[in-house]
Amino acid sequence: MARLPEGTLMQRAAAALAAVCARTLGRVYGSRVAVLAGGGDNGGDALFAGARLARRGARVTAILASFRTHRAGLAALRAAGGRVVALTPADSGGGSGGAAALPEEAVRAVASADLIVDGLVGIGGSGALREPYAGLARLANDAPGIVVAVDVPSGVDASTGCVPGAAVRADRTVTFGACKIGLLVDPGASHVGALHVIDIGIGPYLPEPGVTALTAADVADRLPRPAAESDKYRRGVVGVVAGSDRFTGAAVLAVGGAVRGGAGMVRYAGPAEPVRLVRARWPEAVTTILEPGDDVSGVGRVQAWVLGPGMGTDDRAHALARSVLDTGLPTVLDADGLTLLARDRSLLRPNLLLTPHAGELSRLLGVPAADIEARRLEHVRRAAAELGVTVLLKGSTTLVAEPGRPVRVNPTGTPWLATAGTGDVLAGLAGALLAGGLDTYDAGCCAAFLHGLAAHVAAAGPGGATEAAEAVLTTMLDAVAGAGTAGRADVPTAPISAQDLPDALPEALRLLESPAKMEE
Ligand SMILES: NC(=O)C1=CN([C@@H]2O[C@H](COP(=O)(O)OP(=O)(O)OC[C@H]3O[C@@H](n4cnc5c(N)ncnc54)[C@H](O)[C@@H]3O)[C@@H](O)[C@H]2O)[C@@H](O)CC1
Ligand SMILES: Nc1ncnc2c1ncn2[C@@H]1O[C@H](COP(=O)(O)OP(=O)(O)O)[C@@H](O)[C@H]1O
Ligand SMILES: [K+]
């Protein structure tokens, strides 16, 4: 800002914002646009964009939420023929009930708009939206017009993705300079809609990001690949200690993730019944029946372990878990293994990848699960710092944290994954990558990436897999990098089951290779 004439960055932002609005409207002339303007520069962007649309013939009404309004922006809007409705501090959104206490003129302008520009607050917002901002946000959400958020949907914390109160649910978000963390991490991410990242020339001046995402090419580069002289041992042997007589499926699913994740060999150890089922579904796995009280000394050599899914949490499970962890090998610790760790921190070792969902992390940190869901980034960072290991927090946005490294956000998730047993597949997959030589951080990030991609492939079915995967691999990541727009692929999808994931992994891996090749 110091190098450029005053207002240059804002003009770049407003021009790009107006262009997105115009494209969204299709026909600008005669369209109705409501601009919600807060008291800061976010409101300034919105007002300048409103002025540009008004000059192209749109009927623009600006609703000023604060009596301190961006002066030049307001002047530009007025000069272009825009109308202005100023709220007073007494105007409120009428609590959660809607817009009862907002002036009729404001309510009408928003309700009848073809397009609503949300310029209430951007990166300067703090805490829950206050009135009348909150009431305007609710009004916009209830209105039939398309909502375009400026920089950040108002009410979403740009730095964390937290949504402490009312917030705008946008159809599109036009963000400037860099993708904000809050646009990628839930609950904020689910307020964004299609994402446009606009380059306004500040990239070279930005600091190192605290949160990063892997691209398809990054993942393809990291995945272990067999060389000509590889053999099954060199490719990595993964040991799976999971399942019980009660939870047999966990064994089958974790082994499936490991087999399809590219392990040279999978050794499964557990009670007789899950062993029988594993052999039936995955005859390539080498199995060992564990009698009650056995440890893993008879399982054979492995390079990494998957420990925990469905194994139970009684004293025998505890002793078995300890025998695995005492090998000192890299280990994915999941599900019941995490419950054991929450009870007995002496199980903690270096070289662990913990894969909790919010409930499991809640037991590990002694924090209510709802708080973890609401402040995912803070809690995954805290868990990694407190436990000194890699933590992959599952759920609507998967995050991977390790002390001293940026948090990685996984861009490939889909809510179709919210079904029982998918976490077991993830644990097996991460174990295969650990055995293949990745460190716990990369194994966690790459496993989450492939797991999400496999879910898209499975949900879209053979006819839509390529299109669905391309939407994830190119559009989303291009947008984050400022080179395109992210939205969902328009591919019909159907529910998936956990079993579908190992079967979809080969196709997901093949599709992953194509954009990597293109970039080369
Ligand atoms: N910094 C830059 O380089 C650029 C910034 N730009 C815009 O400027 C924005 C940041 O502007 P500001 O720093 O002025 O901040 P904002 O405009 O984002 O927010 C500050 C305003 O919101 C009010 N506010 C904050 N929290 C609130 C809450 N919880 N409830 C109700 N009101 C609340 C404040 O009282 C103040 O009026 C960016 O998001 C972006 O839109 C762009 O013009 C491009 C260049
Ligand atoms: N709303 C959601 N959006 C995206 N992914 C989700 C969502 N809910 C759950 N998931 C993913 O589904 C998987 C569920 O794992 P987990 O909770 O361990 O279930 P289970 O123990 O039944 O296998 C994880 O990979 C998680 O990230
Ligand atoms: K905004």
pLDDT at 349: 97
Position 514 pLDDT exceeds 90: no
Q: Which CATH superfamily is domain 216-519 in?
A: Ribokinase (3.40.1190.20)
pLDDT of residue 471: 81
> Which pLDDT band, with edges at 50, 70 and 90, does 475 fall under?
low
Q: Report the atom number in ligand 1 closest to the C-alpha of 128.
A: 29
The answer on pLDDT for 93 being more than 70 is no
Let me know the angle formed at the C-alpha of 438 by 427 and 310, rounded to the nearest 5 degrees. 15
Separation CA 488–CA 475 (nearest Å): 9
Does residue 133 surpass a pLDDT of 60? yes
Is the dihedral angle over the CA atoms 488, 490, 495, 498 positive or is it negative? negative
pLDDT value of residue 513: 82
**Domains of the chain: which residue ranges?**
8-207, 216-519
* DSSP helix/strand/coil, 453: helix
Cα 449 to averaged position of ligand 2 atoms, centre (Å): 13
* Residue 127 marked ligand-binding: yes
- Mean predicted lDDT score pLDDT of the chain: 93
pLDDT digits (tens, 9 = 90+) for 168-189: 999 999 999 999 999 999 999 9
| Residue 142 alpha carbon to ligand 3 centre in Å | 17
> For the residues 49-78, what does the mean pLDDT come to?
97
Rounded to the nearest angstrom, the distance between the alpha carbon of 419 and the centre of ligand 2 is: 7
Q: Which residues line ligand 1 (CB under 6 A)?
A: 1, 9-10, 13, 38-43, 45, 66, 121-130, 133, 150-151, 176, 200
Q: Do the Cβ atoms of 177 and 206 come closer than 8 Å?
A: yes
Confidence bin at 356 (pLDDT 50/70/90)? very high
Residues 211-242: b if buried by 16+ CB within 10 A, e if exposed: bbbbbbbbbbebbbeeeeeeeeeebbbbbbbb
The average pLDDT across 136-154 equals 98
Q: What DSSP line would sit under 96-133, residue for residue? A: GG-STTS-HHHHHHHHT-SEEEEES-STT--SSPPTTH
According to the model, what pLDDT value does residue 230 have? 84
- % of residues, the chain, pLDDT over 90: 84
| 426 and 357 Cβ atoms separated by less than 8 Å | no
- State how far the Cα of 174 lies from the Cα of 193, in Å rounded to an integer: 10
Tell me: the pLDDT tens digits for 208-249? 999 999 988 899 999 998 888 888 888 899 999 999 999 999
* C-beta of residue 378 within 8 angstroms of C-beta of residue 384: no
For the residues 469-473, what does the mean pLDDT come to?
A: 82
- Please tell me the predicted confidence (pLDDT) of residue 485: 60
Residue 394 alpha carbon, nearest atom of ligand 2: 27
pLDDT above 70 covers what percent of the chain?
94
pLDDT at 28 over 90: yes
CATH 3.20.20.210 applies to domain 8-207: no
**pTM exceeds 0.90:** yes
Q: What is the pLDDT of residues 193-203, one digit of tens each?
A: 988 999 999 98
Q: Is the pLDDT of residue 43 over 50?
A: yes
State pLDDT tens for residues 204-214. Answer: 999 999 999 99
The ligand 1 atom at the shortest distance from the C-alpha of residue 45 is 43
Confidence bin at 97 (pLDDT 50/70/90):
very low
351 annotated to a ligand binding site: no
Ligand nearest to the Cα of 36, by number: 3
Which tokens sit at 244? 């019980």
d(CA 46, CA 108) in angstroms, rounded, equals 19
pLDDT at 147: 98
**Overall average pLDDT of the 288-294 stretch:** 96
Q: List C-alpha distances in Å: 34 to 191, 465, 468.
A: 19, 39, 34
Which tokens is 300 given?
A: 């054979």
CA-to-CA separations, 100 to 43, 95, 117, 300, in angstroms, rounded: 23, 9, 21, 70
Q: Is the peptide bond before 330 cis (omega within 30 degrees of 0)?
A: no
Length of the chain: 520
